[in-house]
């Protein structure tokens, strides 16, 4: 049986993942699926489940390295507007679909005078991707204001989880369900101008300290308790180290930047090199913050 019979219009074949990741790296996805409704998504998930076809869910690909050989399965992207809806309820609640761009959500909240998400300013991802890893930084994390999440498991069962059942830690959550469909945020009413100033402050800090306009995936490694991974890499003398077309950023040592001609394997080799050097020098094990699909 054809896995996607009657669903051909939402399926593309052998789509280069380099077109869909911030690293601009990665081989082809066997199937690239963009459902146009939640029921269509459910149908895709059910068929893949019944036929043991793995699904990888993609946001903006800004925290992701895909192997050069590509993805032998389905890459699913919630790009259709039906997954990008933003709704305001009552005085301080906002709900957003998983495919919503963080910058769009942040802009809408600022206009409405709702504070709480300024900490994600400048993070180039979707609501789904950000909730999945509790994205954030020195000004806070998205989990601080997440009140509930709408989920679907790999068999297609849809359900919701609310605080205190959901837990957000440093770049992690206890959400085990495969698909995040949306989230509800508990915001605080504030002056739109003040919110705008805060967004600018967070954004400027990122702009001044990170190589935001290059091909990268944000911080590669998680910080170690009180020590930043960037400081460890810097102290190990690794800034500027290059393997093939991948190099450690001179601006921020926890960023790997891809140049023309880079491969995913170059990035993986550089990651291994950094880990070994930090282990040898400080007896510490660096844990990946980025996701690797290989």
Ligand X SMILES: Cc1cc2nc3c(=O)[nH]c(=O)nc-3n(C[C@H](O)[C@H](O)[C@H](O)COP(=O)(O)OP(=O)(O)OC[C@H]3O[C@@H](n4cnc5c(N)ncnc54)[C@H](O)[C@@H]3O)c2cc1C
Enumerate binding residues for ligand X (CB under 6 A). 22, 56-64, 78, 98, 123-126, 128-130, 132-133, 135-137, 179-180, 210, 212, 216-218, 291
To the nearest whole angstrom, how small is the minimum distance from the Cβ of residue 126 to ligand X?
4
Choice between 61 and 232, CB closer to ligand X: 61
Give me the least distance between CB of 91 and ligand X, in Å please: 27
Minimum CB separation of residue 96 from ligand X in Å reads 11
Comparing CB distances to ligand X, the nearer of 114 and 129 is 129
Question: Is 35 or 125 the residue whose CB approaches ligand X more closely?
Answer: 125
φ and ψ at 291, to 5 degrees?
A: -90, 140
Q: What is the DSSP string of the chain?
A: --TTTT-GGGEEEEEEGGGGSTT----EEEEEE--SSHHHHHHHHHHHHHTT--EEEESSSTTEEE-TT-EEEEEEE--SGGGS-EEEETTTEEEEETT-BHHHHHHHHHHHTEES-GGGTT---BHHHHHHHT-EETTEEGGGTEEEEEEE-TT--EEEEETTSS-EETTEE---SSEEEEEEEE-EE--HHHHHHHHHHHHHHHHHHS-TTSB--S-SB--BTTB-HHHHHHHTT-TT-EETTEEE-SS-TT-EEE-TT--HHHHHHHHHHHHHHHHHHH-----B-SEEE-
Dist. CA 240–CA 237, nearest whole Å: 9
- Toward ligand X, which CB reaches closer, 3 or 288? 288
* Cβ-based nearer residue to ligand X, 47 or 60: 60
CB of 281 to ligand X, least distance (A): 26
Task: Work out how close the CB of 60 gets to ligand X at its nearest, in angstroms, rounded to a whole number.
Answer: 3
- Nearest approach, Cβ of 197 to ligand X (angstroms)? 19
Q: In the bound complex, what is the minimum distance in angstroms from residue 18's beta carbon to ligand X?
A: 14
Q: Which is nearer to ligand X, 124 or 230 (CB)?
A: 124
Smaller CB separation from ligand X, 115 or 173: 173
Please give the residue whose beta carbon sits closest to ligand X in the complex: 59
């Amino acid at each position: 049986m054809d896995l996607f019979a009657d669903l051909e219009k939402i399926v593309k074949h052998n789509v280069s993942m380099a077109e869909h990741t911030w690293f601009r790296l990665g081989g082809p996805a066997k199937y690239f699926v963009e459902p146009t409704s939640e029921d269509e998504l459910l149908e895709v998930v059910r068929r893949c489940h019944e036929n043991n076809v793995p699904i990888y869910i993609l946001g903006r690909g800004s925290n992701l390295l895909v192997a050069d050989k590509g993805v032998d399965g389905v890459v699913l992207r919630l790009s259709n507007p039906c997954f990008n809806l933003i709704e305001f309820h009552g005085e301080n609640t906002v709900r957003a679909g998983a495919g919503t761009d963080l910058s769009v959500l942040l802009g809408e909240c600022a206009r409405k005078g709702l504070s709480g998400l300024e900490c994600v300013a400048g993070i180039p991802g979707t609501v789904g991707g950000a909730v999945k890893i509790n994205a954030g930084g020195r000004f806070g994390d998205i989990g601080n204001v997440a009140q509930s999440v709408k989920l679907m498991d790999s068999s297609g069962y849809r359900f919701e989880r609310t605080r205190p059942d959901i837990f957000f830690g440093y770049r992690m959550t206890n959400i085990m369900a495969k698909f995040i469909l949306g989230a509800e945020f508990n915001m605080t009413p504030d002056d739109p101008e003040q919110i705008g100033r805060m967004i600018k402050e967070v954004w400027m800090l990122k702009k001044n300290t990170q190589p935001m306009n290059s091909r990268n995936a944000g911080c590669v490694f998680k910080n170690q308790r009180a020590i930043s991974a960037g400081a460890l890499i810097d102290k190990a003398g690794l800034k500027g180290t290059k393997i093939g077309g991948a190099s450690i950023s001179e601006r921020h040592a926890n960023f790997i930047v891809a140049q023309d001609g880079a491969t995913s394997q170059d990035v993986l080799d550089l990651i291994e090199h950094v880990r070994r050097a930090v282990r040898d020098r400080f007896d510490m094990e660096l844990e990946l913050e980025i996701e690797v699909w290989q």
